[in-house]
Amino acid sequence: MTASVTPVTSKTVDDIPGPKGVPFIGNMFEIRQATMIQDLMKLVREWGPMLRLTTPNGPLYVASGLEMVNDLCDDTRFDKLVGLSQRELRKTHESAGLFTADTDDPLWKSAHDILLPSFSTWAMKGYLDPMIDIAEQLCLKWERLNTDEPIDVTADMTRLTLDTIALCGFSYRFNSFYREGQHPFVAAMMGALHETQARQRLLPVAIKVRRGAQRQLEADSRFMDDTVGKILAERKASGDPGNDLLGHMLVGTDKEGNRLPDHNIVAQCQTFLVAGHETTSGLLSFAISYLLKHPEVVTRAHEEVDRVLGTDPSVPPTVAQVQQLGYVRQILDETLRLWPTAPAFTRQTRRATTVGGWGPFEPGQAVIALTPMLHRLTEVWGPDAEEFNPDHVAPERLDALPPNAFRPFGSGQRACIGRQFALQEATLVLGMVLQRFELIDHANYQLKIKESLTLKPEGLTITIRPRSGRTWGASSRQAEVVSIPRSPALAVAPADRHGTPLLVLFGSNLGASEDLASRIARDATDRGYTARTAGLDDAVGELPTDGAVVVVTSSYNGQPPDNAGKFCTWADDAATSAEGVRYTVFGCGNRDWAATYQAVPTRVDAALEARGATRVYPRGEGDARGDFDGQFEAWYAGLWDALGSALGLEAGAAEAAGGGPRLAVELEQRRTASPILQSYRGQAATVRVNRELTARAGTPGGRSVRHLEIALPAGTTYAAGDHLGVLPRNDMAVVNRVIARFGLDGGQYATLTASGASPTHLPIGEPYPLLGILAGCVELQDVASRAGLAAMAAHMPEGPFRDELADLAGTDDGSKARYREKIAVPRRTLLDVLEEHPECDLPFAEYLDLLPPLRPRYYSISSSPTMSSAAAVTVGVLEGPARSGDGSTFRGVCSGHLSAVPEGGTVFTFVRQPSIAFRPPENPHVPMIMIGAGTGMAPFRGFLQERESLRARGVPIARSLLFLGCRDPEDDLLYADELKGYEADGVATLIPACSRVKGYPHRYVQHALEASADQVWEALQDEAVVLVCGNASTMAPGVRAALVAVFRAKTGAGESDGEAWLAGLRASDRYLEDIWGETAVV
C-alpha cells in the first residue's frame, strides 16, 4: 500500500488573499443570493485569480486563473462536487440524475454509459427534424406579431428549449407556444430550484424550520415526478420503447448488462428537462441581447445565413447547412465566453494536492472554477477580453488556445453530456431567426443579469420586422416529413475475391467510429477483401502482419474510448513490436475540445509507427463541429488505391463491382402487411356515408366538400374535438404513370432488399404487391428534391439537359433561385421531370429510394359519440389546374382518395387527440362562441351534437353562438339544414358571413363578430368559451382583433388593455384555437 504524500509548497492556503469576514457569518454579506456570480466576479477583480472566502460551513475557494483551472480539470486529482442546492434537490426524489448524482453512484456510471450514444455526432442528425418543428413554432409566433408588439425573448426561448428537449428526448409535446403562461412543469421546476438555491446560504437548523417551504418543495418535486412518470408509463404501456432518449433508457444496458430502474429513468428525464432547456434558453437570449448592440455582427451573420440557408425560409435547414453556419456558431461561442449560462463548476480534491501552486488542499476540499472570469483573462483573449467580438472565438484562435482556457460546459467526465445537442439547437434556431427577422432594440436594452440555477438576461424585450428579400416558396412546411437518411451507394455484387485480409479496428464510446469501421469492412468485402471488425482492445498483442489494419478511433476527454485503453497502453510500451504491420488511422473528433482534439488517433498513429509498423496511408481527421462527412469522404476517396498499392494488388483487383442504389428490387408474384399501416397502427374502417355538401360541386368555379361517416373498428373510440388520422392511397392515375415510365407490370410483386439500414416505410425482405408499394407506401406528388434531380443527372447522357438538372440540384444562390422557379413554385414532382426526360435511365430502385414515406392526413372529427359511434369528417376536396401550367389537373392525395371511396368501401384510420383542449366546456351551462369558416365548421358540428344530446335528455344548456363563414349561403353554407334545427331548438344561434355575395351584411366572420357585439358580450359575461377553427394567417388574427374591438367598445379600454384581456381568456382556457396554415395537407 502506498502512503499518500502531502505536496510541499511555498504558497499555503492560509496565504490565499480574500476579504476579511465577520464572526460566524464570514463573507456572506458580500455574496448576495440574487447576484452571487456577479459578486464573486467583483471580488476576483479586487483580490485576484485565487480567492479565499469564509462561510458558516467553512472556507470557500474561488479560482479563475488559467493555471488554477488547469489543475482543477485534472480528473486524477479532482472530481465534481455536487453542490448543496443540487443535494437538496435530489433529497426530494427517489433517485439522482446525471446532474445531481455523485460520481461514485453506480447508477451515474450506468446512465452515463447508456446515454452517451444518444449524444453522439451521429445521433444529432436524428434530432434535427424535431428541433426544426419547435423552431418553426417560435418563428410562426413571431411572424404573426405586429411590428410594434414587444417580444419577451427569455420567455419565448424558455418555451422553445423546453419543448425541444421534450420532443427530441421523449417524443412528448408540452405545447408551450399554445399557452399564454408557462407550463405547470416549468412553474414547479422554478419553484423547486428557487428554494434549493436559497438553502445554499442557510444553516441546517434554518432549513429545518422552513416547514412551509419544505412542503412546497415536496409538492413541486412530486408534480415533476408525476409528470415524467406519466410519460414513462404511457411509453411502457404502448409496447414500443421508441427511438429517443427515453427509449434508449428503457432498453439500453451498461457494460455489465444492467438496465436502469424506472425511478432513475424518471430522474434522468427530469435532468434533461431542467438542464437541457435552462442553459440553452439563456444562451440564445444573451446572444440576441448582444446582437442588438452590434449591427456589424448582424450584417456578417445575415450574409452567412443567406448564403448557407438561402432566402426561402420555407425550405427547412439540413444538418450540413447547420454545420456550415460557422459565424453564427462564433456568435454563440462568444456569448458563452462572456456569459456561460452555467457560470461555475465546483471540484473537490481526491487527495491532498495543490491548485495553481497554492496548497496543500486537504482531501474533499471544494474549489469553485469561476468561468466568466477565466474567459476574461487578457493574457489569453487579448486587451479587449471584456468586449463582445465573435472573432475572439474564430476557429483558428480556438485551436491555438491553451488547454482549459475555454470551459463553458464544465470539465472532464462530468462535463455537460448534451453539449452537441445544445449547440446544434442554438445554431439552428439563431440561424432561422436571422434568416427571417430584423431584431429591433425598441427599448434601448441595457444588459442586466438574472441569476438562478443558470444565468439569463433580465427584462430583455425586442420587436421584429420581417427581413426584405425573402422568397417564400410553395412547399408545405407543416406537412414536411423528412425521409430516412440515405447511406451512400453500395456495390450490389462483390468483386472477384482476392481474399486479402483486412482488419478494421475501432475505438468508440458513442458509436460513430464503430459505424465507420463497419462501412469500411462492408466496402472492403465488396472489393474482394476478407474483412472483419473488432474493438481495439481485442487486438492487443495480435496485430496481423498479413494484409492491412485500418484503425478508426475517437477520444473521450483526451483519453481512449472504453474499448481502446488496453490497446493504447500496449502500443505505448517500448517493449511492444509491430514490425511487419501495415496500417492507417482515421480519427473522429470535435474541435470544441481543442486541447484534446484528435489526441487518441494521433497517439495511436505515432505509437504504431514507433513500434515498427508501416503507415501505408496518411492519418485522416473528421471534425464533428465542421463537415465531418465531407472530411471522411475526402480521406476515404484515396484509401483503396493506397491499400492496393501497399499490398501489391494488381490494378483494379480491389475495385468494387460497380455502384448501385441502396435498394435492390426483385419482381415476382405474392403478399404481406403495409409497414405504413403498422407504423401508425392504422386500422381498416368502413365508410358508411359519403355525400356531397355543396350545391355547385363539379360546375365551373364550384368546389366539392364531402361528408363522410366512418365506422371505426371494434375497441376504437373518439371524443368530440378529436382528430381522425387517415392513411391515404395515391391516385391510380399517378401510380399508372410510374408503372408506364419505368416499363413495369402492375400485377407483379416486389421483394426489396436493403444493403444499409432498412427504411421503415417500405416492406423489406418479403414479396409485396408493386401497386401496393406505389399506392400506399410513398409520396408520389411531393415536389422533386434536389437529391432526386442530382440522381437523374447522374443517369442522363452528357448534354445540356444533364447540365440543367445538375444545376437545379446545386446549392449556390443561382441554382437555388432556378430550383425555386422551375421546381418548387410550380410543384413539379420527380415523376413530372422523369416524364420530360425519357432519355434518363434512373433505375426504379433508386427512384423508389428517393421518395419520402406516405404521410397520414388529419381531419377534425365532425360528430359526437353521443349521437353516433361512427366518426364523421368534413373534407374539402382539392382539385384544380396544376401550378406547373402544363394544363394538367392537380388532385389532393387524401382529399381525392376520400372523395372517391364508395359507401361500404374501406379506409385506414386512427384517432388522435388534439394537442390542446379544443373541446366543448364540461359545464353545459357555459355558452360557446364558435367561429369558423368552410370546413372549419367540422369540430363545431360535433360540439353542437353534444349539446343537442344533453338537451334531448332534459339537461338545461346555455344557448351558444356560431359564426360561420362561406362563399354563398345557397352553395356552401355547410350543414345548413342541421343548423336551422339547432337554432330552432335553442342550442345555438347561427350568424353567417358570406364572402362572394354582394350586399351581404357580413363578408367575413370577424365582421359578423363585431356587428354582433351585444350578443358576444352578453355570452362572455356568462363565462362563454371562445372556440376558433380556421386559417391561421387570415381568419384567426381578424377574429382576435374583432374580439378586442368588442371588449374596447363595451369597456372604453385601450388597445393594450384589450390585448391583456384576450391574453387572460387564453390563460384561463376560455379562448381556444384549432387553426392551420395556408398550405394545409390535402
Among residues 54, 158, 279, 935, which one is catalytic?
A: 279
Residue 578 clears pLDDT 50, i.e. is over it:
yes
- Here the cell at position 1049 is 367598445
Predicted pLDDT at 1077 = 54
Task: Give dist(CA 1075, CA 1029) in Å, integer.
Answer: 5
Give the DSSP H or E segment for 506.
strand 501-507
Higher pLDDT, 695 or 85: 695
Which range, 192-206, 580-594, 876-890, is most confident?
580-594
Mean pLDDT over the full length of the chain: 87
Where residue 1028 falls among pLDDT bands split at 50, 70, 90? very high
Which range, 487-496, 837-846, 1066-1075, is most confident?
837-846
How many Cβ atoms from other residues are within 10 Å of residue 800's Cβ? 7
**Active-site residue, 55 included:** no
Residue 679 clears pLDDT 90, i.e. is over it:
no
Predicted pLDDT at 669 = 40
Where residue 371 falls among pLDDT bands split at 50, 70, 90? very high
Predicted pLDDT at 321 = 93
Residue 940 clears pLDDT 70, i.e. is over it:
yes
**Active-site residue, 279 included:** yes
Predicted pLDDT at 211 = 80
Residue 506 CA from chain centroid, whole number: 29
Task: Give dist(CA 720, CA 913) in Å, integer.
Answer: 10
Contacts of 981 by beta carbon, 8 Å cutoff, 6+ apart: none
- Here the cell at position 454 is 443558470
pLDDT digits (tens, 9 = 90+) for 761-782: 788 888 888 988 999 899 999 8
Predicted pLDDT at 658 = 52
Where residue 416 falls among pLDDT bands split at 50, 70, 90? confident
Contacts of 458 by beta carbon, 8 Å cutoff, 6+ apart: 154, 448, 449, 450
Q: For residue 745, which amino acid is it?
A: D
Predicted pLDDT at 886 = 67
Indicate the SS3 state at residue 20: coil
pLDDT digits (tens, 9 = 90+) for 312-339: 888 899 988 999 999 999 999 999 999 9
- Average pLDDT for 446-454: 91
**Whole-structure pTM value:** 0.55
Where residue 352 falls among pLDDT bands split at 50, 70, 90? very high
Residue 553 CA from chain centroid, whole number: 28
Task: Give dist(CA 373, CA 37) in Å, integer.
Answer: 10
Residue 659 clears pLDDT 70, i.e. is over it:
no
**Pairing mode of beta strands 344-349, 78-80:** antiparallel
DSSP for residue 489: P
Domain 490-660 sits in CATH 3.20.20.70: no
Predicted pLDDT at 474 = 33
Task: Give dist(CA 727, CA 683) in Å, integer.
Answer: 9
Predicted pLDDT at 1007 = 94
Predicted pLDDT at 930 = 97
Residue 487 clears pLDDT 60, i.e. is over it:
no
Predicted pLDDT at 666 = 62
Distances (CA, A) of 459 to 283, 285, 490: 15, 11, 55
- Average pLDDT for 1026-1037: 86
Predicted pLDDT at 116 = 81
Predicted pLDDT at 3 = 43
**Active-site residue, 568 included:** no
Give the DSSP H or E segment for 435.
helix 419-436
Task: Give dist(CA 85, CA 202) in Å, integer.
Answer: 11
Task: Give dist(CA 837, CA 780) in Å, integer.
Answer: 17
Least trusted range by pLDDT, from 124-133, 420-429, 936-945: 124-133
CATH number of 106-466: 1.10.630.10
Backbone angles phi, psi at 762, to 5 degrees: -115, 145
- Average pLDDT for 136-151: 89
Instruction: Identify any residues that bridge with 1026 across adjacent strands, giving them in sequence order.
Output: 929, 1071
The domain limits of the chain are 106-466, 490-660, 918-1076
Where residue 664 falls among pLDDT bands split at 50, 70, 90? low
Indicate the SS3 state at residue 933: strand
Residue 454 clears pLDDT 50, i.e. is over it:
yes
Task: Give dist(CA 802, CA 793) in Å, integer.
Answer: 5
Give the DSSP H or E segment for 1042.
helix 1035-1051
Contact 1046, 856 (CB under 8 A): no
Predicted pLDDT at 255 = 75
Say what percent of the chain tops pLDDT 70: 92
How many Cβ atoms from other residues are within 10 Å of residue 804's Cβ? 16
pLDDT digits (tens, 9 = 90+) for 208-261: 777 888 888 888 888 888 888 888 888 888 877 877 888 888 888 887 788 899
pLDDT digits (tens, 9 = 90+) for 557-568: 678 988 899 999
Task: Give dist(CA 530, CA 979) in Å, integer.
Answer: 76
Contact 107, 391 (CB under 8 A): no
- Average pLDDT for 602-607: 96
Least trusted range by pLDDT, from 202-211, 231-240, 570-579: 202-211
Task: Please tell me whether 1029 is known to bind a ligand.
Answer: no
Overall residue count recorded for the chain in this entry: 1082
Decide if 490-660 and 918-1076 have a common fold: yes
Topology (CATH) of 918-1076: Rossmann fold (3.40.50)
Task: Give dist(CA 355, CA 362) in Å, integer.
Answer: 11
Predicted pLDDT at 663 = 63
- Average pLDDT for 286-299: 97
Task: Give dist(CA 201, CA 57) in Å, integer.
Answer: 9
Contact 929, 1014 (CB under 8 A): no
* Sequence-ordered strand ranges (E) for 521-633: 530-535, 548-554, 582-589, 614-615, 620-623
Cis peptide before 360 (omega within 30 of 0): yes
Among residues 345, 409, 437, 908, which one is catalytic?
A: 409
Among residues 416, 777, 840, 894, which one is catalytic?
A: 416
